[in-house]
Amino acid sequence: MFDEPYRWVEAVSNRREYLEEQLKAASPVIALPCLEGILLLSVSAGTQKLYEIYDRIALGAMGHPADVERLRNVILDMAHLEGFNRSPSDVTARRLIQFGLAPAVKQAFEEISHAPYIIRLLIAELGSSDQPILYTLNYDGVFKESHQGVVLAAFGEATERAEAAMKALDDPAARPVAAVFEDALTLWALGEVTEEHVETHLKETLKERTIEGGLLSVSLNGSSKYRGITASEIKAWTGKWSDG
């Protein structure tokens, strides 16, 4: 069926359309540097989207929960075996993406007789000098590195809108997490609606959906630097959008 090259190219193209369609309803994921480290934020209707992966590494995911779970397990195993057999300092986001996830995701994308991963992933790492290192991985295996902040959104226009707003932010790395949380939530909303609808959208979101936050914090004692943002912190930091 796919013997002729053009048929294969067409099938891959169809698959891209299919994946973009599947991801349309996915909730954006935001990562921003802050004074304490790296803040991750998303909003869900119940399914967890932010995960601790290793001592200084966290994952944010949008897409099909079963696919996210499969890939999460792949990098959990890879990270822990590497950390045990070599050293925790040898476990880096770059190695996990470049040698672990990206080849597997690309292969699944191009093997058109099998189902692709319906995902977009964000991997955040507190570097060895506590600098933020961020990676995004697309369903086709393409990955990018950033140090300023990352927006994962469902479609290109929303991503561009939120990224433009992110670039205009007053240096988040120099501000405390409480302040950056508000920015991240606004960017999340821009990943779903246009600027004029942000306020209304956030008010509705706070009533109906669950805000999820994670922090890779340089100040946490011990080797594990990830913690979830607590419900009371979220309540305190989202007061301007809640009715009571």
Closer by beta carbon to other proteins, 55 or else 140: 55
Q: Quote the CA–CA distance of 200 and 196 in Å, as a whole number.
A: 9
**Which spans of this chain sit near other proteins (rule: CB under 8 A)?**
48, 51-55, 73, 76-77, 80-81, 83-85, 221-222, 224
Q: How far apart are CA 64 and CA 118, in angstroms?
A: 6
Which is nearer to other proteins, 47 or 200 (by Cβ)?
47
State how far the Cα of 48 lies from the Cα of 127, in Å rounded to an integer: 25
CA 42 to the chain's CA centroid:
8
The CA-atom distances, in angstroms, between 123 and each of 170, 178, 243 are: 23, 21, 34
Instruction: Kindly tell me which of 108 and 198 has the beta carbon lying closer to other proteins.
Output: 108
Eight-class DSSP state of 37: E
Q: In what order do the strands lie in the sheet with 50-54?
A: 50-54, 57-63, 119-126, 132-137, 143-146
CB 137 within 8 A of CB 121: yes
Q: Which helix (H) or strand (E) holds 122?
A: strand 119-126
Scored b (16 or more CB within 10 A) or e, 46-66 reads: eebbbbbbbbbbbbbbbbbbe
Nearer to other proteins, 43 or 79 (CB): 79
Amino acid at 12: V
Q: Tally DSSP H helices, then E strands, for the chain.
A: 8, 10
* Shortest distance, position 95 Cβ to other proteins, whole Å: 17
Q: Which is nearer to other proteins, 77 or 195 (CB)?
A: 77
CB of 74 to other proteins, least distance (A): 9
Which residue's CB is nearer to other proteins, number 50 or number 166?
Answer: 50
Pick the closer one to other proteins by CB: 57 or 189.
57
